[in-house]
Structure 1
Amino acid sequence: MLYALLKTIHLLGVVLLVGNAVVTLIWKLAADRTRNPQLIAFAQRLVTLADWWFTVGGVVLLMLGGYGAAAVAHLDLWRLDWLLWGQVLLVLSGALWLGILVPVQVQQGRQARSFAAGGPIPARYWQAGRRWTVWGILATLLLAVAIALMVFKPV
């Protein structure tokens, strides 16, 4: 029963983390396509808020549930390849998020606040947006591979 509860918490964390990554990408791309400074600034703010609530919250649930379930099931986190590589991919995705995506989001958020009042959208906003999109897709793909490893548990 405890294992099932912890696994459920783990899966809820996965849904929040990956779901938010996909949804915020769609929100941001859709808002950027409008070229409306006010709408872009609003979407940029929501992307940042959603990341704090859902990405961070998802990671916390994912780790609590995953490590808790592994402990209850007496799984060796370092000897089972699928668990080891799942953790490596999560860390790599997190490194991209913390090292690239968050700084770009902060930069774009500041820019959006400055043009929200109706000013022009600077070229560096669009350059940062392309960078955020490319690295965000890569970070999300790493999570998708980690999910596949957890499901298929290759030997």
Structure 2
Amino acid sequence: MNDTYLLLKSLHILGAILFLGNVIVTLWWKLMANRTRQQAVIAFAQRQVTLTDYVFTFGGAGLVLVSGVANIWLQGWDITQSRWLGWGSALFLVSGLLWLLILIPIQIHQARLARQFADGTEIPAAYWRAERVWVVVGVIATLLVLANVFWMVYKPA
């Protein structure tokens, strides 16, 4: 193994840590803040969740994507001929699409709503409806990432 492979693999692992770590911590922050039913706490947590997704989730996903594609290309691997690469890529893609198409738009919507109730006004029902969708889809997206960890580590044939 050459140094380029190991550097890219290290960046890939770092990206996975940032990505998965933030996804799990984000769910925790939102659930714990929402349990308080305190408008200011929920508004603060919602803003931080949205900001950390831009930095850590997107940053981690970017590292995973760039380093993974670079190593696939440099090693001459074929994702159509390797189940672990094919499944890993598919799981990453589906999870990413769930984040981009559903979760991030919901978070942005909730952040806008949270700015309106941060001063102590009543939390609208729309926030809680969006939260239920966010939790269900977020758990699915997280499970896909956890399944991906299996494929990347065990590399079944």
The Cα of 1:35 is off from its aligned counterpart by 0.6
The Cα of 1:123 is off from its aligned counterpart by 1.6
Match of 1:127 in 2: 129
Distance in 2 between residues matched to 1:104 and 1:68, nearest whole Å: 32
Distance in 2 between residues matched to 1:73 and 1:24, nearest whole Å: 34
What do you get for the CA RMSD once the two structures are aligned? 0.9
String of CA shifts for 1:115-141, please: whole Å, max 9, x gaps: 001100112211111110110010010
SS in 1 for 2:119: coil
Q: Which runs of structure 2 are paired with 1:91-110 in the superposition (5 Å)? A: 91-110=93-112
TM-score, length basis structure 1: 0.97
Count of aligned pairs between the two proteins: 155
Choose which of 62, 65, 70 in structure 2 pairs with 1:60: 62
Q: Is 1:27 aligned to 2:29, yes or no? A: yes
The Cα of 1:64 is off from its aligned counterpart by 1.5
TM-score, length basis structure 2: 0.95
The Cα of 1:95 is off from its aligned counterpart by 1.1
String of CA shifts for 1:31-89, please: whole Å, max 9, x gaps: 00011100100000000000000011011110111112222322112210110111111
Gaps of 5+ in 1: none
Match of 1:90 in 2: 92
Distance in 1 between residues matched to 2:133 and 2:154, nearest whole Å: 32
The residue identity in structure 2 corresponding to 1:88 is: A
Q: Is 1:144 aligned to 2:146, yes or no? A: yes
The Cα of 1:112 is off from its aligned counterpart by 0.3
Percent sequence identity over matched residues? 49
SS in 1 for 2:123: coil
CA contact (8 A) 1:70 1:76 kept: yes
Q: Which runs of structure 2 are paired with 1:33-52 in the superposition (5 Å)? A: 33-52=35-54
